[in-house]
Each structure stands twice: as C-alpha cells, then as structure tokens.
Amino acid sequence: METIKRIHHITAIVGDPNENLKFYRDVLGLRLIKQTINFDDPSVYHLYFGDHNDSPGTVITFFPWTNNNYGKKGSGQVGRIAFRVPKGSMDDWKEHLKAQHIQVEMTQLFGDNTLEFVDAHGLELAIVEDGTEANNKDILGFHGAVLLSGNPEGTKVLLTDLMGLKELDSADENHHFETIGEEKHHIVISIPPQPTGRFGIGTVHHIAWSVSGMDELKEWQSKLKKEGFGVTAVRDRNYFNSIYMGEKGNVVFEFATDGPGFFVDEDKELLGTALKLPEQYEQNRQEYETLLPELDI
C-alpha cells in the first residue's frame, strides 16, 4: 500500500470568474490551465490554475459562483492555503501584494515566516519561502494547507497512521505534518477546533491527495472502507479518477490519480484557452457557452 506523497489539487468556491482569473493569473502569476464546468453542477465553471512548468502539486481549482452566496469558514473545511516561493523573494512578494492594495500580515503559521493575505473573495492564502534558488519570484507550487478539523485527533491518526505523513515538532499548539514525497507539503491541523463552517464563496471545498494510478486508487478505496470511512465510488473527472471521503473531522478529502492529466483534450501550449467539456456534456455546449460569463483571457 503506497503512502501519500503530495497534494494533488485543492478546490475552493469563489465569486465572479473574471475576478478570480485576474487575481490568480495577474496578481499571483499562475497560469489558467483548464476551463471546464463543474461536472456535478454544469451551470458553474470549473477553472484550474497551475504554474508555468506544469509541476505536480501546484493545481488550485475554483468553482466561481455568481450568486453572491458567501460561506462561513469553520470546522469541516480546509483553511488557509500556502504557496511556496523561491529563496529571498518574500520581500518582493510583500511589496507586490501591497502595491495591489492587498493587506498582508507576517506570521509563523507554517512554522516558518508566513506571509498571510486573502484573495479577491476572502479565501485565505499565504506565501512561504523555500530553499529553491531562482532568478524570479514565481510561485513554485503549494507549500501546504491548514485543515480546520472538527476532530483534530481523528484527523491526525488518519494522516499519520494511514496516509503516512510525518508529524513535525512544532513551537505552537497546532499539529504540523509533512508529506514524505519530494515536494514535502506541509499540513497544519489548527487547534482548538472552530465552530462548524458552511460552504459558499470564500471557502475551500476539498483537498485532493495524489495517488499514482487506478489500482492504487481502488486499494485506497477498500482500505478506507475497511477502516469505517464513508467513501464514494470511483468518479471519472476526465483529467484524473478519484474518490471522495469524509474524514473524522468532516474535512472533505479526495484521492485522485496522477493521470491521465491535462493534455487529454488540448495541447500543452493551448492549455486553458478554450472551454473544454467532457463527452456527456458536449451536446449542450451552446447552452453552457450562453450561460457562462465570458472570460477575459
């Protein structure tokens, strides 16, 4: 049974899709790598952003709601999402964000200097420096995420005993972990648990963990079932296959295969430039194109 080596993607609910695009593309410098629809609610976009090298463990995705239905952050959700940036670039980032009139705060949330800020729709983000040398300040991928678990001990046992994350020493009351893969993603369980959250604009919907292939995904499915977790059937998400589960602290975890990847329906240089629909929705393309707001790409 393989252990979990890294984050696959993180998915959040935000507001206006063009405000979302402007923030992640123009302010954070990420690349829109896929425009599609929410397969479970095709009236809503599903926008995927990655870095410019298509690195694994960088994909952040959004359901941009246009109904003004803001959520409430709290237990049962992923909290702050942190990105990793090159060595020595933190001050540049601080100035860059301030120049866009974005409020920043320096904390030690991830056990290291953490530059905290929020996106255009109230989603909590952060930047943490890594030891990587680079001649620019571009985001290198996720640094990690905070889990707002309603049951920190239950979540901790799942992360360490089943998923193989390593617990780190920490100077605060939070639980800190790191994935054992090359990326060493940092996961923080925030203590004490907060009141229960409600999904809506400005909240994170789920975190997905990377699983190498379909056989491993099925192994995870049966292992999690055996441990008493509620697990879904395998869903075909076009770019990966996945299962969803509710963990003990009510945070939605997804386990997603690395393949087939984002090149199944468009070439690398064209990623994100056109609306892509899975086969079952292609017949209604005109309807979606009329319904969905046009993106300023």
What is the binding site for Zn ion (CB under 5 A)? 11, 208, 254
Backbone phi, psi, residue 49, to 5°:
-120, 145
Can you read off the two tokens belonging to residue 141?
């991928």
Least CB distance from residue 25 to Zn ion, whole Å?
A: 20
Return the structure tokens found at 105: 């705060």
257: β partners:
211
- HSE-CB for 75 with a 13 A CA cutoff: 15
Residue number, 125 or 208, with CB nearest to Zn ion: 208
User: What distance lies between CA 162 and its chain's CA centroid?
Assistant: 21
The residue among 157, 28, 147 whose CA lies nearest residue 79 is: 147
Closer residue to Zn ion, CB minimum distance, 89 or 241: 241
Choose between 10 and 85: whose C-beta lies nearer to Zn ion: 10
When the beta carbons of 110 and 239 are compared against Zn ion, the nearer one is: 239
Task: Please state the closest distance from residue 270 (CB atom) to Zn ion, in A.
Answer: 23
Cis peptide before 17 (omega within 30 of 0): no
**Helix/strand/coil for 160:** helix
Shortest distance, position 27 Cβ to Zn ion, whole Å: 23
Q: How far is the CB of 197 from Zn ion (least distance, A)?
A: 18
Alpha helix (H) residue ranges in the chain? 17-21, 90-99, 152-157, 214-226, 279-282, 285-291
> Whats the size of the chain, residue-wise?
297
CB of 254 to Zn ion, least distance (A): 5
> Within 10 A of 95 (CB to CB), how many other CB atoms are there?
10
Shortest distance, position 170 Cβ to Zn ion, whole Å: 28
User: Hey, how many other C-beta atoms are within 10 angstroms of the C-beta on 4?
Assistant: 22
Closer by beta carbon to Zn ion, 123 or else 208: 208
Judged by beta carbon, residue 12 or residue 139, the one nearer Zn ion is 12
By the 8 A CB rule, do 5 and 179 touch?
Answer: yes
Distance of closest approach, residue 205 Cβ to Zn ion, in angstroms? 8
Select 90 or 208, whichever has its Cβ closest to Zn ion.
Answer: 208
CB 115 within 8 Å of CB 106: yes
